[in-house]
């Protein structure tokens, strides 16, 4: 199976950690991944005239933020057209070649993947992300060749 050139080498690094921690054993079913649903928050409640609904929504946001660090939202008021455009640009960025994302400093060197400090498979992060501080998003040099972002 060929891994696309835009993907970070997550499986390679995970396999390496697994071998180091299992004395050379292959990936095993010992590691169980818990499937969780991200919190989903309806933001329309924030515009409610019912103060209890507003407070309930605020509490849900606070809880999701403290327990998860992020959450999904619906009824946020962002148009579907803008969401489609954002998704298109997101795909362009994440489908850029891995070496380009990792080495060329796009978006102020904000590209991250995996977990470089992991010492065992349980600490491994199956993520690929761009962490862009809000203070940088208005700076033109932040985007490099991704000027449509």
> pLDDT by residue (tens digit) across 65-124?
999 988 999 999 999 999 999 889 888 888 888 888 888 777 777 888 777 777 777 776
Residues 107 and 149 in one domain: yes
> SS3 for 42?
strand
Residue 4 confidence (pLDDT): 58
Are 43 and 57 contacting, i.e. CB atoms less than 8 angstroms apart? yes
Q: Give whole-number Cα distances, 53 to 12, 57, 108, in Å.
A: 47, 6, 40
Going by pLDDT thresholds of 50, 70 and 90, the confidence category of residue 27 is very low
Q: Are residues 110 and 143 in the same domain?
A: yes
What's the pLDDT tens digit per position in 28-73? 444 445 566 889 999 999 999 999 999 999 999 999 999 998 899 9
| Residue 6 domain-assigned (yes or no) | no
**Predicted local distance difference test score (pLDDT) of residue 35:** 62
Looking at 51, 77, 103, which one is the last position of a domain?
A: 77
Alpha-carbon gap, residue 95 to 108, rounded angstroms: 18
Residue 45, domain extent: 37-77
Whether this prediction's pTM lies above 0.95 is answered by: no
Q: Name, in order, each residue with C-beta under 8 angstroms of 118's C-beta and a sequence gap of 6 or more.
A: 13, 17, 124, 125
The secondary structure of residue 104, as a DSSP letter, is S
Any idea how long the chain is? 149
Taking a C-beta distance cutoff of 8 angstroms, is the pair 83, 139 a contact? no
The answer to whether 64 and 43 have CB atoms below 8 angstroms apart is no
Structural domain includes residue 122: yes
């Amino acid at each position: 199976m060929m891994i696309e050139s835009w993907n970070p080498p997550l499986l390679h690094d995970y396999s390496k950690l697994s071998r180091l921690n299992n004395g050379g054993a292959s990936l095993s079913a010992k590691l169980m991944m818990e499937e969780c649903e991200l919190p989903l928050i309806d933001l329309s409640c924030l515009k409610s005239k019912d103060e209890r609904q507003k407070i309930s929504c605020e509490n849900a946001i606070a809880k999701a933020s403290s327990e998860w660090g992020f959450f999904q939202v619906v009824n946020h008021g962002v148009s579907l057209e803008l969401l489609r455009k954002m998704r298109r640009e997101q795909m362009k960025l994440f489908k850029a070649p891995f070496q380009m994302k990792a080495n060329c400093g796009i978006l102020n060197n904000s590209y991250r993947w995996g977990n470089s400090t992991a010492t065992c498979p349980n600490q491994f992060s199956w993520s690929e992300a761009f962490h862009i501080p809000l203070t940088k998003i208005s700076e033109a040099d932040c985007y490099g060749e991704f000027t449509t972002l």
